[in-house]
Chains A and B, each alone.
Chain A
Amino acid sequence: MQIERSSRGAVPSSAGGSDLADILERVLDKGIVVAGDIAINLLDIELLTIKLRLLIASADTAKKMGISWWENDPFLTGESRRNELGSSNGQGEIEQRLERIEEALGAITSSSNGHER
Chain B
Amino acid sequence: MKAGIYVYGIVRTGALDAAPAVSGVDRDRDVFLVEAGDLSAIAGGVDVSQFEGAALEANANTPEWLEEKVRGHERVLDAVVGRCAVIPMRLGAMFSTEAGVRDLLVRSAESIRSSLARIDGKTEWGVKVECDLSLLMNRLADTAPAEVSGAAYLRRRAVEIRGADEAREAANGVANEIHARLVALSDESALLSHARPTSERAPILNAAYLVEDRRRDDFMTAIQDLQDMHRDAYEFQVTGPWPPYNFTEIDVDRAGT
Binding site for B on A (CB under 8 A): 1-5, 7-11, 13-14, 17-41, 44-45, 47-49, 51-52, 55, 60, 63-70, 72-73, 75-76, 104, 107-108, 111-112, 115, 117
Provide the bound-state CA to CA distance between A51 and B62, in Å.
Answer: 9
Provide the bound-state CA to CA distance between A51 and B48, in Å.
Answer: 17
What are 20 pairs between A and B in contact, CB < 8 Å? A4-B239, A9-B78, A18-B239, A26-B242, A27-B74, A27-B88, A30-B248, A31-B88, A32-B88, A32-B89, A32-B248, A34-B252, A40-B4, A48-B56, A48-B69, A52-B70, A55-B63, A55-B67, A60-B196, A64-B196
List chain A residues, Cβ under 8 A from B196: 60, 64, 66, 68
Binding-face segment, B11-19, B32-40, B93-101, B180-188: B93-101
Q: Is B195 an interface residue (CB 8 A)?
A: yes
Provide the bound-state CA to CA distance between A38 and B141, in Å.
Answer: 59
CB contact under 8 A between A3 and B96, given known A34-B252, A44-B56, A64-B199: no
List chain B residues, Cβ under 8 A from A20: 67, 70-71
List chain A residues, Cβ under 8 A from B137: 75
Provide the bound-state CA to CA distance between A23 and B88, in Å.
Answer: 12
Nearest Cβ distance between residue A52 and chain B, in whole angstroms?
6
Interface residue ranges of B68-121 to A (CB < 8 Å): 69-71, 73-75, 78-79, 81-82, 87-97, 99-100, 103-104, 107
List chain A residues, Cβ under 8 A from B198: 63-65, 69
B78 touches A24 (CB 8 A): no
* Known pairs A69-B133, A112-B138 / 4 extra A-B pairs, C-beta < 8 Å: A1-B227, A11-B78, A49-B91, A72-B199
A11 touches B97 (CB 8 A): no
List chain A residues, Cβ under 8 A from B88: 26-27, 30-32
B89 touches A39 (CB 8 A): no
A31 touches B89 (CB 8 A): yes
Contacting residue for B238 out of A4, A76, A104, A117, CB 8 A? A4
B134 touches A3 (CB 8 A): no
List chain B residues, Cβ under 8 A from A28: 90-91
Total A-B Cβ pairs within 8 A: 212
Interface residues on B, range: 35 or more
A3 touches B238 (CB 8 A): yes
Provide the bound-state CA to CA distance between A77 and B36, in Å.
Answer: 61
List chain A residues, Cβ under 8 A from B99: 37
Nearest Cβ distance between residue A105 and chain B, in whole angstroms?
8
A52 touches B66 (CB 8 A): yes
Nearest CB in chain A to that of B100: its residue: A37
Provide the bound-state CA to CA distance between A2 and B127, in Å.
Answer: 10
B252 touches A108 (CB 8 A): no
CB contact under 8 A between A108 and B236, given known A10-B78, A31-B89, A32-B90: no
A115 touches B103 (CB 8 A): no
Nearest CB in chain B to that of A67: its residue: B199
Provide the bound-state CA to CA distance between A114 and B93, in Å.
Answer: 56
Contacting residue for A69 out of B60, B69, B94, B199, CB 8 A? B199
B51 touches A23 (CB 8 A): no
Interface residue ranges of B149-196 to A (CB < 8 Å): 153, 156, 160-161, 164, 192, 195-196
